[in-house]
Protein backbone atom coordinates (compact mmCIF):
# COMPACT_ATOMS: atom_id res chain seq x y z
CA UNK A 1 0.00 0.00 0.00
CA UNK A 2 2.93 2.32 0.74
CA UNK A 3 3.96 2.29 -2.88
CA UNK A 4 0.64 1.80 -4.65
CA UNK A 5 -0.03 5.44 -5.43
CA UNK A 6 3.34 5.88 -7.14
CA UNK A 7 2.70 3.21 -9.74
CA UNK A 8 1.32 4.41 -13.05
CA UNK A 9 -2.44 4.06 -13.08
CA UNK A 10 -5.32 5.49 -15.04
CA UNK A 11 -6.38 7.56 -12.09
CA UNK A 12 -2.94 8.97 -11.43
CA UNK A 13 -2.46 10.22 -14.95
CA UNK A 14 -5.93 11.68 -14.82
CA UNK A 15 -7.57 9.46 -17.43
CA UNK A 16 -10.87 9.72 -15.64
CA UNK A 17 -11.34 5.97 -15.34
CA UNK A 18 -12.48 4.24 -12.11
CA UNK A 19 -12.22 7.16 -9.74
CA UNK A 20 -11.78 6.85 -5.96
CA UNK A 21 -9.50 3.87 -6.30
CA UNK A 22 -7.05 5.32 -3.83
CA UNK A 23 -7.46 5.67 -0.08
CA UNK A 24 -8.37 9.11 1.16
CA UNK A 25 -5.50 11.07 2.70
CA UNK A 26 -6.91 12.21 6.02
CA UNK A 27 -4.53 11.43 8.88
CA UNK A 28 -2.04 13.59 10.71
CA UNK A 29 1.32 12.05 11.66
CA UNK A 30 4.14 13.62 13.71
CA UNK A 31 7.76 12.47 13.81
CA UNK A 32 9.75 13.64 16.87
CA UNK A 33 13.47 13.48 16.08
CA UNK A 34 12.75 14.00 12.38
CA UNK A 35 16.18 15.40 11.45
CA UNK A 36 18.03 12.30 12.64
CA UNK A 37 19.38 9.21 10.93
CA UNK A 38 16.04 7.40 11.25
CA UNK A 39 13.86 10.51 11.22
CA UNK A 40 14.84 11.70 7.73
CA UNK A 41 14.23 8.53 5.71
CA UNK A 42 11.19 7.75 7.87
CA UNK A 43 9.72 11.16 7.09
CA UNK A 44 10.29 10.50 3.39
CA UNK A 45 8.57 7.10 3.55
CA UNK A 46 5.62 8.54 5.48
CA UNK A 47 5.39 11.31 2.87
CA UNK A 48 4.74 8.51 0.37
CA UNK A 49 1.70 7.19 2.25
CA UNK A 50 -1.60 7.90 0.53
CA UNK A 51 -3.31 7.90 3.95
CA UNK A 52 -1.43 10.91 5.34
CA UNK A 53 -2.84 14.43 4.99
CA UNK A 54 -0.39 16.25 7.27
CA UNK A 55 3.15 15.33 8.25
CA UNK A 56 4.60 17.30 11.16
CA UNK A 57 8.38 17.09 11.51
CA UNK A 58 9.85 18.07 14.87
CA UNK A 59 13.45 18.17 16.08
CA UNK A 60 15.64 20.35 18.27
CA UNK A 61 17.68 21.41 15.19
CA UNK A 62 18.07 21.04 11.41
CA UNK A 63 14.48 20.14 10.66
CA UNK A 64 13.62 23.14 8.46
CA UNK A 65 15.75 21.87 5.59
CA UNK A 66 14.52 18.32 5.90
CA UNK A 67 10.91 19.51 5.72
CA UNK A 68 11.58 21.87 2.79
CA UNK A 69 13.25 19.05 0.90
CA UNK A 70 10.58 16.41 1.54
CA UNK A 71 7.74 18.85 0.89
CA UNK A 72 8.65 18.95 -2.82
CA UNK A 73 7.56 15.32 -3.35
CA UNK A 74 4.27 15.37 -5.22
CA UNK A 75 2.39 13.11 -2.81
CA UNK A 76 -0.77 14.20 -0.97
CA UNK A 77 0.50 15.23 2.47
CA UNK A 78 1.37 18.72 3.61
CA UNK A 79 4.72 18.86 5.42
CA UNK A 80 5.28 21.26 8.33
CA UNK A 81 8.43 21.85 10.39
CA UNK A 82 8.74 22.58 14.10
CA UNK A 83 12.00 23.39 15.88
CA UNK A 84 12.67 23.24 19.61
CA UNK A 85 10.48 22.86 22.71
CA UNK A 86 8.58 26.12 22.10
CA UNK A 87 7.11 24.63 18.88
CA UNK A 88 6.51 21.11 20.18
CA UNK A 89 2.90 21.64 21.29
CA UNK A 90 1.92 22.91 17.84
CA UNK A 91 3.65 19.93 16.22
CA UNK A 92 1.38 17.62 18.22
CA UNK A 93 -2.04 19.26 18.08
CA UNK A 94 -4.63 17.03 16.41
CA UNK A 95 -2.12 14.31 15.58
CA UNK A 96 -3.35 10.71 15.07
CA UNK A 97 0.02 8.92 15.17
CA UNK A 98 3.20 10.14 16.90
CA UNK A 99 6.47 8.41 16.09
CA UNK A 100 9.43 8.97 18.41
CA UNK A 101 12.93 8.17 17.08
CA UNK A 102 14.55 10.99 19.13
CA UNK A 103 17.67 10.14 21.09
CA UNK A 104 21.23 8.92 20.78
CA UNK A 105 22.19 5.73 18.94
CA UNK A 106 24.77 3.08 19.94
CA UNK A 107 28.45 2.99 19.04
CA UNK A 108 30.47 -0.25 18.86
CA UNK A 109 30.92 -1.84 22.29
CA UNK A 110 27.76 -0.31 23.76
CA UNK A 111 24.55 -2.07 24.75
CA UNK A 112 21.18 -0.44 24.19
CA UNK A 113 20.94 -0.01 27.97
CA UNK A 114 24.04 2.23 27.83
CA UNK A 115 21.75 4.77 26.08
CA UNK A 116 19.36 4.86 29.05
CA UNK A 117 20.85 7.87 30.84
CA UNK A 118 20.37 10.20 27.85
CA UNK A 119 17.33 8.74 26.13
CA UNK A 120 15.15 8.17 29.21
CA UNK A 121 14.90 11.90 29.82
CA UNK A 122 14.30 12.69 26.13
CA UNK A 123 11.44 10.18 25.89
CA UNK A 124 9.96 11.36 29.18
CA UNK A 125 9.81 15.01 28.11
CA UNK A 126 8.46 14.22 24.63
CA UNK A 127 5.73 11.92 25.98
CA UNK A 128 4.72 14.59 28.50
CA UNK A 129 4.07 16.88 25.54
CA UNK A 130 2.15 14.12 23.74
CA UNK A 131 -0.01 13.65 26.87
CA UNK A 132 -0.75 17.38 26.96
CA UNK A 133 -1.45 17.89 23.27
CA UNK A 134 -2.67 14.67 21.61
CA UNK A 135 -3.53 12.18 24.37
CA UNK A 136 -5.63 10.05 22.00
CA UNK A 137 -2.85 9.47 19.47
CA UNK A 138 -1.20 6.13 18.77
CA UNK A 139 2.34 6.50 20.19
CA UNK A 140 5.20 4.63 18.52
CA UNK A 141 8.40 4.50 20.60
CA UNK A 142 11.59 3.78 18.64
CA UNK A 143 14.17 5.38 20.98
CA UNK A 144 16.31 2.81 22.80
CA UNK A 145 16.39 1.02 25.12
CA UNK A 146 12.82 0.20 24.01
CA UNK A 147 12.50 -2.33 26.87
CA UNK A 148 12.73 0.65 29.28
CA UNK A 149 11.50 3.62 27.23
CA UNK A 150 8.04 2.10 26.69
CA UNK A 151 7.50 1.59 30.46
CA UNK A 152 8.76 5.18 30.95
CA UNK A 153 6.18 6.43 28.44
CA UNK A 154 3.44 4.42 30.18
CA UNK A 155 4.31 5.91 33.58
CA UNK A 156 4.38 9.46 32.19
CA UNK A 157 0.97 8.95 30.59
CA UNK A 158 -0.38 7.48 33.85
CA UNK A 159 0.94 10.47 35.81
CA UNK A 160 -0.87 12.73 33.34
CA UNK A 161 -4.05 10.64 33.68
CA UNK A 162 -4.26 9.80 29.96
CA UNK A 163 -2.69 6.34 29.67
CA UNK A 164 -4.39 4.05 27.18
CA UNK A 165 -2.35 0.80 27.06
CA UNK A 166 -3.96 -0.05 23.73
CA UNK A 167 -2.31 2.94 22.07
CA UNK A 168 1.28 2.79 23.33
CA UNK A 169 3.63 0.72 21.18
CA UNK A 170 7.32 -0.13 21.32
CA UNK A 171 8.39 -0.49 17.70
CA UNK A 172 9.89 -3.97 17.23
CA UNK A 173 8.98 -4.25 13.55
CA UNK A 174 12.65 -4.22 12.57
CA UNK A 175 13.12 -7.54 14.38
CA UNK A 176 10.33 -9.04 12.26
CA UNK A 177 11.70 -7.48 9.07
CA UNK A 178 15.13 -8.95 9.81
CA UNK A 179 13.75 -12.37 10.76
CA UNK A 180 11.74 -12.50 7.52
CA UNK A 181 14.79 -11.51 5.46
CA UNK A 182 17.23 -13.93 7.10
CA UNK A 183 14.81 -16.88 7.04
CA UNK A 184 13.91 -16.29 3.39
CA UNK A 185 17.63 -16.17 2.51
CA UNK A 186 18.52 -19.29 4.49
CA UNK A 187 15.57 -21.39 3.27
CA UNK A 188 15.45 -20.02 -0.27
CA UNK A 189 11.88 -18.80 0.12
CA UNK A 190 10.10 -16.01 -1.70
CA UNK A 191 10.50 -13.01 0.62
CA UNK A 192 6.96 -11.76 0.18
CA UNK A 193 5.57 -15.01 1.64
CA UNK A 194 7.73 -15.23 4.78
CA UNK A 195 6.32 -14.19 8.14
CA UNK A 196 8.16 -14.86 11.40
CA UNK A 197 6.66 -13.61 14.66
CA UNK A 198 9.22 -12.11 17.04
CA UNK A 199 8.28 -11.81 20.72
CA UNK A 200 9.80 -10.72 24.04
CA UNK A 201 11.60 -7.40 23.91
CA UNK A 202 14.07 -5.44 21.80
CA UNK A 203 17.61 -6.11 23.07
CA UNK A 204 19.92 -9.12 22.81
CA UNK A 205 18.39 -12.33 24.16
CA UNK A 206 15.09 -10.59 24.90
CA UNK A 207 14.50 -10.67 21.11
CA UNK A 208 12.92 -14.08 20.54
CA UNK A 209 12.04 -15.11 16.98
CA UNK A 210 9.47 -17.91 17.00
CA UNK A 211 10.90 -19.85 14.09
CA UNK A 212 8.58 -22.77 14.79
CA UNK A 213 5.68 -20.43 13.90
CA UNK A 214 7.18 -19.31 10.58
CA UNK A 215 4.70 -19.03 7.75
CA UNK A 216 4.78 -20.75 5.32
CA UNK A 217 5.49 -23.75 7.52
CA UNK A 218 9.14 -24.69 7.15
CA UNK A 219 11.46 -27.05 9.01
CA UNK A 220 14.84 -26.04 10.41
CA UNK A 221 17.73 -28.12 11.71
CA UNK A 222 18.87 -27.42 15.27
CA UNK A 223 21.96 -25.67 13.84
CA UNK A 224 19.82 -23.45 11.62
CA UNK A 225 17.60 -22.50 14.55
CA UNK A 226 20.60 -21.58 16.68
CA UNK A 227 22.31 -19.65 13.88
CA UNK A 228 19.19 -17.74 12.79
CA UNK A 229 18.10 -16.90 16.34
CA UNK A 230 21.52 -15.52 17.26
CA UNK A 231 21.77 -13.55 14.00
CA UNK A 232 18.34 -11.96 14.53
CA UNK A 233 19.22 -11.12 18.15
CA UNK A 234 22.54 -9.56 17.12
CA UNK A 235 21.41 -7.89 13.89
CA UNK A 236 21.41 -4.43 15.48
CA UNK A 237 24.99 -4.97 16.65
CA UNK A 238 25.91 -6.25 13.16
CA UNK A 239 24.91 -2.83 11.76
CA UNK A 240 26.51 -0.87 14.63
CA UNK A 241 29.82 -2.65 13.97
CA UNK A 242 29.59 -2.20 10.19
CA UNK A 243 28.95 1.53 10.67
CA UNK A 244 32.01 1.62 12.94
CA UNK A 245 31.07 4.58 15.13
CA UNK A 246 28.72 6.35 12.68
CA UNK A 247 25.55 5.13 14.42
CA UNK A 248 23.13 2.21 14.24
CA UNK A 249 20.46 1.00 11.84
CA UNK A 250 18.66 3.95 10.27
CA UNK A 251 17.49 2.95 6.79
CA UNK A 252 16.10 -0.50 7.61
CA UNK A 253 14.67 1.03 10.78
CA UNK A 254 12.92 3.74 8.78
CA UNK A 255 11.51 1.07 6.48
CA UNK A 256 10.26 -0.95 9.46
CA UNK A 257 8.83 2.10 11.24
CA UNK A 258 7.06 3.20 8.04
CA UNK A 259 5.45 -0.24 7.86
CA UNK A 260 4.22 0.13 11.45
CA UNK A 261 2.88 3.63 10.74
CA UNK A 262 1.09 2.39 7.62
CA UNK A 263 -0.41 -0.51 9.60
CA UNK A 264 -1.61 1.90 12.28
CA UNK A 265 -3.19 4.19 9.70
CA UNK A 266 -4.91 1.28 7.99
CA UNK A 267 -6.27 0.20 11.39
CA UNK A 268 -7.48 3.74 12.12
CA UNK A 269 -9.08 3.75 8.68
CA UNK A 270 -11.17 0.68 9.53
CA UNK A 271 -9.17 -2.10 7.88
CA UNK A 272 -10.06 -5.16 9.96
CA UNK A 273 -7.07 -7.26 8.90
CA UNK A 274 -4.06 -5.54 10.51
CA UNK A 275 -1.64 -7.55 12.64
CA UNK A 276 1.81 -6.52 13.89
CA UNK A 277 4.30 -7.67 16.52
CA UNK A 278 4.97 -4.87 19.01
CA UNK A 279 6.20 -4.33 22.60
CA UNK A 280 3.15 -3.38 24.66
CA UNK A 281 1.50 -3.72 28.04
CA UNK A 282 0.54 -7.36 28.13
CA UNK A 283 -0.73 -10.16 30.32
CA UNK A 284 0.47 -12.96 28.05
CA UNK A 285 3.30 -13.63 30.52
CA UNK A 286 3.95 -12.56 34.11
CA UNK A 287 5.88 -9.52 32.76
CA UNK A 288 3.92 -6.26 32.54
CA UNK A 289 5.22 -5.50 29.02
CA UNK A 290 5.93 -8.03 26.30
CA UNK A 291 6.24 -7.99 22.52
CA UNK A 292 3.86 -10.24 20.63
CA UNK A 293 1.58 -10.11 17.65
CA UNK A 294 -1.54 -8.02 18.17
CA UNK A 295 -4.55 -7.14 16.07
CA UNK A 296 -4.82 -3.40 15.51
CA UNK A 297 -8.09 -1.53 15.13
CA UNK A 298 -9.48 1.98 15.35
CA UNK A 299 -8.87 2.12 19.11
CA UNK A 300 -5.41 0.57 19.04
CA UNK A 301 -4.88 -3.00 20.21
CA UNK A 302 -8.07 -4.97 19.60
CA UNK A 303 -6.79 -8.42 20.50
CA UNK A 304 -3.66 -10.37 21.35
CA UNK A 305 -2.77 -13.32 19.13
CA UNK A 306 -2.39 -15.71 22.05
CA UNK A 307 -2.03 -18.84 19.92
CA UNK A 308 1.51 -17.95 18.87
CA UNK A 309 2.81 -18.35 22.41
CA UNK A 310 1.27 -21.80 22.69
CA UNK A 311 2.97 -24.96 21.51
CA UNK A 312 6.46 -23.44 21.47
CA UNK A 313 9.41 -25.68 20.65
CA UNK A 314 11.62 -26.74 23.55
CA UNK A 315 14.30 -24.32 22.31
CA UNK A 316 11.84 -21.41 22.28
CA UNK A 317 10.36 -22.31 25.65
CA UNK A 318 13.84 -22.29 27.22
CA UNK A 319 14.74 -19.02 25.50
CA UNK A 320 11.49 -17.47 26.71
CA UNK A 321 12.26 -18.37 30.32
CA UNK A 322 15.87 -17.18 29.90
CA UNK A 323 14.89 -13.73 28.62
CA UNK A 324 12.45 -12.93 31.42
CA UNK A 325 14.90 -11.74 34.14
CA UNK A 326 16.65 -9.28 31.78
CA UNK A 327 13.39 -7.96 30.34
CA UNK A 328 11.89 -7.63 33.83
CA UNK A 329 14.92 -5.65 35.05
CA UNK A 330 14.77 -3.29 32.04
CA UNK A 331 11.05 -2.68 32.55
CA UNK A 332 11.56 -2.01 36.27
CA UNK A 333 14.45 0.36 35.53
CA UNK A 334 12.16 2.44 33.30
CA UNK A 335 9.37 2.53 35.87
CA UNK A 336 11.79 3.44 38.69
CA UNK A 337 13.27 6.28 36.62
CA UNK A 338 9.87 7.87 36.09
CA UNK A 339 8.76 7.44 39.69
CA UNK A 340 12.02 8.98 40.96
CA UNK A 341 11.46 12.03 38.77
CA UNK A 342 7.83 12.51 39.76
P1 LIG B 1 20.41 10.20 15.40
O2 LIG B 1 21.36 10.72 16.42
O3 LIG B 1 20.84 10.13 13.99
O4 LIG B 1 19.06 11.05 15.44
C5 LIG B 1 18.41 11.35 16.62
C6 LIG B 1 17.68 12.66 16.44
O7 LIG B 1 16.99 12.94 17.66
C8 LIG B 1 18.61 13.87 16.16
O9 LIG B 1 18.15 14.57 15.02
C10 LIG B 1 18.47 14.72 17.42
O11 LIG B 1 18.55 16.12 17.16
C12 LIG B 1 17.07 14.33 17.86
N13 LIG B 1 16.81 14.65 19.26
C14 LIG B 1 17.62 14.56 20.33
N15 LIG B 1 16.99 15.01 21.43
C16 LIG B 1 15.75 15.38 21.04
C17 LIG B 1 14.64 15.92 21.70
N18 LIG B 1 14.64 16.18 23.01
N19 LIG B 1 13.54 16.19 20.97
C20 LIG B 1 13.50 15.92 19.65
N21 LIG B 1 14.53 15.42 18.97
C22 LIG B 1 15.64 15.15 19.67
O23 LIG B 1 19.92 8.75 15.93
P24 LIG B 1 19.13 7.62 15.09
O25 LIG B 1 20.11 6.75 14.39
O26 LIG B 1 18.05 8.27 14.31
O27 LIG B 1 18.51 6.76 16.30
C28 LIG B 1 17.55 7.30 17.14
C29 LIG B 1 17.15 6.32 18.24
O30 LIG B 1 16.50 5.17 17.68
C31 LIG B 1 18.32 5.75 19.04
O32 LIG B 1 17.98 5.73 20.40
C33 LIG B 1 18.46 4.34 18.52
O34 LIG B 1 19.05 3.47 19.44
C35 LIG B 1 17.02 3.99 18.25
N36 LIG B 1 16.80 2.86 17.34
C37 LIG B 1 15.77 2.00 17.63
C38 LIG B 1 15.49 0.93 16.80
C39 LIG B 1 14.35 0.01 17.09
O40 LIG B 1 14.28 -1.06 16.49
N41 LIG B 1 13.43 0.35 17.95
C42 LIG B 1 16.26 0.75 15.63
C43 LIG B 1 17.29 1.64 15.36
C44 LIG B 1 17.55 2.70 16.23
C1 LIG C 1 18.55 -2.07 16.14
O2 LIG C 1 18.06 -3.15 16.49
O3 LIG C 1 19.15 -1.94 15.05
C4 LIG C 1 18.40 -0.88 17.03
O5 LIG C 1 17.85 -1.22 18.26
C6 LIG C 1 19.66 -0.08 17.15
C7 LIG C 1 20.74 -0.76 17.93
O8 LIG C 1 21.29 -0.13 18.82
O9 LIG C 1 21.06 -1.92 17.64
ipTM summary value: 0.99
Pocket of ligand 2 (CB under 6 A): 105-106, 112, 144, 174, 236, 239-240, 248-249
CA angle 99, 52, 78 (to 5 degrees): 100
**Tens digits of residue pLDDT in 183-216:** 999 999 999 889 999 999 999 999 999 999 999 9
User: Which residue has its alpha carbon closest to ligand 1 atom 35?
Assistant: 143
Cα 313 to Cα 320: distance, rounded to the nearest angstrom = 10
Predicted local confidence at residue 105, as pLDDT: 98
Cα 81 to Cα 60: distance, rounded to the nearest angstrom = 11
User: Which residue has its alpha carbon closest to ligand 1 atom 25?
Assistant: 37
Predicted local confidence at residue 23, as pLDDT: 67
**Tens digits of residue pLDDT in 125-178:** 999 999 999 999 999 999 999 999 999 999 999 999 999 999 999 999 999 999
Cβ-proximal residues to 203 (8 Å cutoff; 6+ apart), any chain:
111, 112, 113, 144, 145, 146, 147, 326, 330
Q: How many helices (H) and strands (E) does the chain have?
A: 10, 11
Cα 151 to Cα 35: distance, rounded to the nearest angstrom = 25
**Tens digits of residue pLDDT in 260-272:** 999 999 999 999 9
Nearest ligand, CA of residue 142?
Answer: 1
The conformation of residue 195, written as its DSSP 8-state character, comes to B
Residue 202 appears among annotated catalytic residues: yes
Query: Which helix (H) or strand (E) covers residue 39, if one does?
Result: helix 39-47
Nearest ligand 2 atom to the CA of 253 is: 3
Predicted local confidence at residue 6, as pLDDT: 46
**Tens digits of residue pLDDT in 52-85:** 999 999 999 999 999 999 999 999 999 999 999 9
Nearest to 250 by CA among 260, 263, 240, 262: 240
Instruction: Name residue 141's beta-bridge partners.
Output: 100, 170
Cβ-proximal residues to 325 (8 Å cutoff; 6+ apart), any chain:
none
Q: What is the mean pLDDT of residues 211-225?
A: 97
Predicted local confidence at residue 197, as pLDDT: 97
46 or 339: which leads in pLDDT: 46
User: Which residue has its alpha carbon closest to ligand 2 atom 5?
Assistant: 236
With beta carbons less than 8 A apart as the criterion, state whether 194 and 308 touch.
no
With beta carbons less than 8 A apart as the criterion, state whether 153 and 279 touch.
no
11 or 235: which leads in pLDDT: 235
Amino acid sequence: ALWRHLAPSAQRVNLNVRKNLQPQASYKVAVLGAAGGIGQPLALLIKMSPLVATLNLYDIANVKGVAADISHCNTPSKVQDFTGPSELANALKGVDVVVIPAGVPRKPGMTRDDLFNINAGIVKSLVEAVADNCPDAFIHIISNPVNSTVPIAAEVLKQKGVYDPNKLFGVTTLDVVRANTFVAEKKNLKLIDVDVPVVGGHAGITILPLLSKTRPSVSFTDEQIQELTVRIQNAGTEVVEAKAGAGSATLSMAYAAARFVESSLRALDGDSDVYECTFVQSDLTELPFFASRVKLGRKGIEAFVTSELQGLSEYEQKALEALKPELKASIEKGIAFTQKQA
